[in-house]
Amino acid sequence: MDTDDFSEPDFSDGFRSDFESLLSWRRDVRHFRKDPVPDDVLERLLELADRAPSVGNSQPWRIVRVDDPERRAGVIQIHEEANREASAAYGTSEKAEAYRKLKLAGLREAPVHLAVFVDPDPEQGHGLGRATMPETLAYSAVGMIQTLWLAARIEGVGLGWVSILDPVRIGCILDVNPSWSFIAYLCLGYPEKNYDTPELERKRWQARTPLSDRILKR
């Protein structure tokens, strides 16, 4: 008898409905209240995120909690410079005007800053599953972030993923191992408001499209 063969949990109709609501209400948050996120809440969220699957069970993510005001200020500067460059790239088009009206980061307001990196050659996992696709390490880290995103939403904590940054400069300012790859800079905190529609839809930047547009058959 396989002693590891336990009965699977019974996910009720109510649970399924709640899970669908969780997915629908997950938002990329940019507007935060300044209330602190209690340490025990943050620790619980990170422990849940750490249960995410990873290639070869390598858990390649390396999470840096950025509390130092000077380092935070440096990150904000990097974002503002990159944001100006991105805005200029749109020229004088209609999208350029729309871009300038978007709030693309909550770096100044969010009480918690987390930088996520990936160790490109972790001893853990012994290389399983990534010989031909080493990028699966980065994919694993993104899966961990998605798990954190959903866990945070359950606790009423918002998460915003800031991607308009220079990865090399971020690694330098946070003084991490230079071999690590930068994956994401995350802002966490309690949202000012909750919306059932993504901000980019509300601001008419881009609506969601049907799943049928992305399903291919061969």
Structural domain contains residue 108: yes
For the cut 70, the answer to whether the pLDDT of residue 185 exceeds it is yes
Cα three-residue angle 47-31-211, rounded to 5 degrees: 75
Least confident among 7-16, 68-77, 135-144, 182-191: 7-16
Decide: residue 106, CB within 10 A, 0-12 exposed, 13-18 middle, 19+ buried.
Answer: buried
Number of domains present in the structure of the chain: 1
pLDDT, residue 22, reads 94
Contact 19, 176 (CB under 8 A): no
Contacts 24+ apart (CB under 8 A), 51-54: 51/147, 52/140, 52/143, 52/144, 52/146, 52/147, 53/140, 53/143, 54/125, 54/137, 54/140, 54/141, 54/143, 54/144
Q: What is the pLDDT of residues 197-207, one digit of tens each?
A: 888 888 888 88
Range of the structural domain that residue 51 is part of: 27-201
Q: What is the pLDDT of residues 42-96, one digit of tens each?
A: 999 999 999 999 999 999 999 999 999 999 999 999 999 999 998 898 888 888 8
Residue 13's pLDDT band, with cuts at 50, 70 and 90, is: very high
C-alpha distances in angstroms, 39 versus 43, 44, 185, 189? Answer: 6, 9, 19, 12
Q: What is the pLDDT of residues 125-139, one digit of tens each?
A: 999 999 999 999 999
Interatomic CA distance for residues 129 and 107, integer angstroms = 36
> What are the DSSP E strand ranges found in the chain?
61-65, 112-118, 158-162, 181-189
pLDDT, residue 1, reads 47
Contacts of 173 (CB under 8 A, 6+ apart): 71, 74, 75, 78
pLDDT, residue 101, reads 85
- What is the average pLDDT across 20-40? 94
Residue 2's pLDDT band, with cuts at 50, 70 and 90, is: low
Q: Position 24: which residue type?
A: S
Q: CATH number of the domain at 110, please.
A: 3.40.109.10
Residue 103's pLDDT band, with cuts at 50, 70 and 90, is: confident
Token code pair at residue 82: 């990159």
C-alpha distances in angstroms, 2 versus 5, 6, 160? Answer: 6, 9, 43
pLDDT, residue 81, reads 94
Q: What is the pLDDT of residues 145-162, one digit of tens each?
A: 999 999 999 999 999 999
For the cut 50, the answer to whether the pLDDT of residue 5 exceeds it is yes
Contact 162, 105 (CB under 8 A): yes
Task: Give the number of other CB atoms < 10 A from CB of residue 95.
Answer: 12
Average pLDDT, the chain: 93
Cα three-residue angle 64-27-141, rounded to 5 degrees: 35
Token code pair at residue 211: 């799943």
